[in-house]
Amino acid sequence: MKKEDIISKLPYSKPFLFVDELLHVDENGVEGCYAFDENLDFYKGHFKGNPITPGVILTEVMAQIGVVCLGIYLLNDTFNKNTTIALTSNEIEFSKPVFPNEKVTVISEKIYFRFGKLKCKVEMKNEKGEVVCSGTIAGMIV
């Protein structure tokens, strides 16, 4: 499956699509990027005068790239418009802020995929290669 095909199958659209590019994907993990446009609505009210990206949005970026994109790849031809995706758990540690106009890279490593549940070790890095957040995310894909 081509990387572009995976992105086209994501059940999200702008402004809630947080995947710009997939750099690598195989049965063990995925790596992808997203750049935060300074005009995204959540920046208008998140820390007046010094906006940063909310942690819930960083978690969503990691889930979309690290779990959903990998799940689509693993399911391959069985993934379709009737497939349901749901976050089941996450445990994320935040180390550094992400500011408007920053580009981040998400690296995900599959822990397991069984009975429709995918759990991954996920890490997000900024353009300097510094870890901004990391942890585990799991979701159900049925």
For the annotated catalytic residues, the residue numbers are: 46
3-state secondary structure 13-76: CCCCCCCCEEEEEECCEEEEEEECCCCCHHHHCCCCCCCCCCHHHHHHHHHHHHHHHHHHHHHH
Cis peptide before 15 (omega within 30 of 0): yes
